[in-house]
Amino acid sequence: MDIVRTPQKSNRKAYIIGGSVLLVAVSTALLSKLEPAAPTVERAAVLIDSVRRGDVVREVRGPGTLVPEQIRWITAQASARVERLNSESGREVSADQILLELSNPDLQIQTMQAEQQVRQAQIDLLNLRTNLRSQLLTQEGTVASMRTQLVNATQEGAAADSLVRLRLISGFEASNKRASAEEFTTRYRIEQERLDLMKQAIDSQISVQASQVVQLEAIAANQRARLRSLQVRAPETGVLQDLTLQLGQWVPEGTTLAKVVQPGKLKAVLRVPESQAKDVTIGLPAMIDTRNGTVAGRVVRKDPSAISGSVTIDVALEGPLPAGAVPDLSVDGTIQIEKLENVIFSGRPAMTGGTGMVSLFKLDAGGDAATRVPVELGRNSVNTIEIIRGLAPGDRIILSDMSAFATADRVRIR
């Protein structure tokens, strides 16, 4: 008899599902171990430079202007009103040439009053000398008269002593004669001391009054100088600048009226970043670009403080000025710091603060990718920088700003 067999269920479907799950798990594990794809940069968008060995001239650069070496400012010595303009800005003027005329009636009155005070003080001095001389003569007469009386009293006293011995006069009368002689001796001494005291006081009294006259004369001279200054004259030969006054304008004392400059004697005033100015010293050579030619110069002054992130440096020009070099012209200056011999260097990367450790992207051998490497930078110049370690001659690096790829250690270049 036949035995009925129950068919067994197939496990093929379960095997397929299990294999799929296992495959997904393995793939996920493998993908998690893969590094993210390197970002891509366009070759035309970055600046690539080669590391080289050789000599490098360290330079610093800064913008500036041409200014006259000598500027003579003309200021108002007294408040006044502009009455006449005899010149204008840009004209050449000669020394003592009248530039403009001012007026101030009050100043004229003050000058006359000061002169009147001087004349009165001189009269007082003359009267004082006359009075003191008269008093001195009077006292000298008194002393002379007292001397005569003293001699007479002394002689009478001596005669009285002789007459007493001859009993021709009484002792009382002789005593009175001697007392009279002693009185005149004392009076003569007092009058003589009074005369000496007057002689000493005369000089001091006259000196005080004379000094008063001198002071008033100085005040009057200053007033006359202020009055003369209303005719404003050129202090020296040069070119007149900044004369912007108008007729009838009131000018307070101390106001700048104009200035006279020497157009052929100019210097360059540069504004160098404070991070680069630390190496600039007096005497370093420089080259000034006027955009119409260049002229050599030398550093003559360095401002000890920084203003708005820059240091002011004066450069004296040593060669003939290019055509069109005038005061206030904008220029560019380059100052040579030193020459570095046989060093490794490259172009100066963007976004570097100078010396120290930085990270730069170095191109691979094929040039299709770049890897971030640590580099120690040394002394820098305007366009170049010294490389202490991290790169070798022949390496190529990216100089452009790569801050957008701060988290990437490798980039692709296409």
* pLDDT score, position 56: 86
Asked whether the beta carbons of 232 and 84 are under 8 A apart, the reply is no
**pLDDT at res. 31:** 45
Specify the pLDDT at position 352. 66
β-strand pairing of 356-363 with 294-307: unpaired
Entry pTM: 0.57
pLDDT of residue 316: 92
pLDDT value at residue 288: 93
User: For residues 284 and 116, what is the distance between their CA atoms, to the nearest angstrom?
Assistant: 61
Q: What angle do CA 346, 347, 351 make, to 5 degrees?
A: 120
Stretches where the chain sits below pLDDT 50 are 1, 9, 31, 34
pLDDT for the residue 104: 94
Burial profile 271-284: b = 16 or more Cβ within 10 angstroms, e = fewer = bbeeebbeebeeeb
Rounded to 5°, the CA angle 187-192-196 comes to: 150
Provide the pLDDT for residue 34.
Answer: 47
Q: What's the CA gap between 314 and 301, in Å, rounded?
A: 5
Q: What is the pLDDT of residue 367?
A: 83
Give the per-residue pLDDT at 1: 45
Rounded Cα distance between 239 and 132, Å, is 59
pLDDT computed for residue 295 by the predictor: 92
